[in-house]
Amino acid sequence: MAEFKISNRQFMVLIFLQIMGLVLSPGIWTGIAKQDGWLAELVGIVLGLLVLWLFSRVANLNSELNLIGLMGVIFGKPIGKTVTLCFIFAEFIAVSINVWLTATFITTQILPQTPKQAIMILLIAILIIGVRLGLETIAQVAEILVPFVFGYFILAGIMVAPNIHWENIQPVLEHGITPVVKGALVYITISSCSLLHFLLLVPFCTNQQKAGKSLIIASLVGSSLGFFFNLCTLLVLGVVQTSTALYPAYLVITKINIGDFLTRFEAVGAMFWLISSFYAMIIYLYAVVQGLVQILSFKDHRPLTLPLGLVLFVTAMIILPSTNYQINYMLTTNVPDVLVMAVVLPLVLYIVAKVRGYKASNIKGLR
Amino acid sequence: MTWSLVIIIVALAIIFIEKKMLTNRNMKKEQIVFCLMLVSGVILGIAENFIVIPTPLKMFSSIQQSIMAFIKL
């Protein structure tokens, strides 16, 4: 049993913030689906519900155990530990990519003279402090910040409305359904599939039976807000700018101009995007630390955090050579890579559990 | 070169912060893992300034390309 608990609302808030931190990059799927980028996102949200349903089924196998515990019980110790190591590696790569992306955003848009490494050190220091303080603190701070993030993105979406050009999403389905499905697949790997590590937090929830439901609701709320904002981006900027700009969500906010009085709204937008992005990174890092603690049977997670931060700094420096490489990676290798980890793994886990007749009350029988 | 120095200073600071854990006789396993991670971080961090370390993502890409080539066969 976990020593501390987070409420289901806090669990939902963490999911919402992670989704907001990851999905505000419509350029990736708009590059594939062109003016149907919004449709690709919509299809991605609907298909993503299937992935989330699978996650909730896995969470309901035994809400007292997290994903790593379940893998150990259902697959057996040697296979369970091997799969756990792969999972930890994948999470570590994901947090490194996110640190690189955030540092690149800050150095290209806000602080161009500052070395990327300096931004990375500061960012990783905050992440490490957060992880050392524990999940309870992370969740409580998220609960304070979430109304501002939610309110800001709705307000920004409404304020860019005067610049909307409906012809930017016309004609609909000009290139057929294939690019839409391809775009939707990329969207799923960025949004729904990246929520797999929340299965590690299920045992910490106060109402574990409803954790699966909370996962689906929070993801749906986050994805809907992301869809609304990304649709506004596409309608304002058009296909070319949305798919070629480095940060289209940031660029669209620069267009806000209410009577020459309310302008330069993008700095606030950057702040809220950084907050959401920070939560995505901290949960990834927490999953890495939690995984290592379980696999090495440590009592405390804190001795691991500081050296892990140093390794993370070095990995974040070398993980991506350029933004072009990142976009190419997201469109090609990342899709099968994430699908194996976030769809095939839980599916196999669920099928093996059912075939072996696993029940929450019968853990020892399978060990 | 500057970043190699920064990494060494950060590593020393980490050792200083965790000196309580490092001198605890009941935390042998933690100490071994801590030292391994710290040393690998420092070595990689310094090496990164002198040689080009391939990104781990290239490994994923080559695995994917191999599988795709196998499927095409």
Interior/surface letters A169-187, b for 16+ CB within 10 angstroms, e for the rest: beeeeeeeeebbbbbbbbb
| pTM (two decimals) | 0.92
| Structural tokens at position A171 | 């004609």
Least Cα distance to B33 among A304, A301, A299 occurs for A304
Chain-chain contact of B48 with A317 (C-beta, under 8 angstroms): yes
Q: Hey, how many other C-beta atoms are within 10 angstroms of the C-beta on A367?
A: 8
Which chain B residues have a beta carbon less than 8 Å from that of A297? 29
B29 interface with A at CB cutoff 8 Å = yes
A296, A329, A337 member nearest B33 (Cβ): A296
pLDDT in tens, A165-190: 999 998 888 888 999 999 999 999 99
Say yes or no: B17 contacts chain A, CB-CB below 8 A: yes
- The per-residue pLDDT for range B20-58, each reduced to its tens digit, is 888 888 888 889 999 999 999 999 999 988 888 888 888
Q: Is residue A312 part of a domain?
A: yes
Give dist(CA A351, CA A349) in Å, integer: 6
pLDDT at B11 over 90: yes
Residue B57 structural domain: 2-72
Q: Is residue A318 part of a domain?
A: yes
Per-residue pLDDT reduced to its tens digit, A197-212 = 999 999 999 988 889 9
Chain A residues touching B7 at Cβ < 8 A: 310, 313-314
Task: Determine the number of helices (DSSP H) and then strands (DSSP E) in chain A.
Answer: 16, 0
The one-character DSSP state at A75 is H
- Please tell me the total count of domains within chain B: 1
Size of interface A-B (CB pairs under 8 A): 84
Residue A61 token pair? 């196998």
Q: How far apart are CA B32 and CA B23, in angstroms?
A: 12
What letter represents residue A219's amino acid?
A: S
Angle CA(A143)–CA(A149)–CA(A150) in degrees, nearest 5?
A: 90
Instruction: Quote the minimal CA–CA distance from A122 to chain B in Å.
Output: 12
Nearest 5°: phi and psi at A226? -60, -40
Residue A367 has pLDDT above 50, yes or no: no
Note whether residue A362 is domain-resident: no
Q: Which domain holds residue A43?
A: 8-353
A299 — pLDDT class (breaks 50, 70, 90): confident
**ipTM confidence score:** 0.91
Task: Report the CATH number at residue A349.
Answer: 1.20.1740.10
Q: Is residue A102 part of a domain?
A: yes
Interface check B23 vs A, CB under 8 A: no
Distance CA A138, CA A147 (A): 16
Q: Looking at A217-226, A314-323, A357-366, which range is the least confident one?
A: A357-366
Are A303 and B29 an interchain contact pair (Cβ–Cβ within 8 Å)? no
Residue A359 lies in a domain: no
A340 touches chain B (CB under 8 A): no
- Alpha-carbon distance A277 to nearest alpha carbon in chain B (angstroms): 21
Contact A179, A33 (CB under 8 A): yes
Q: Does any domain span residue A364?
A: no
Overall domain count for chain A: 1
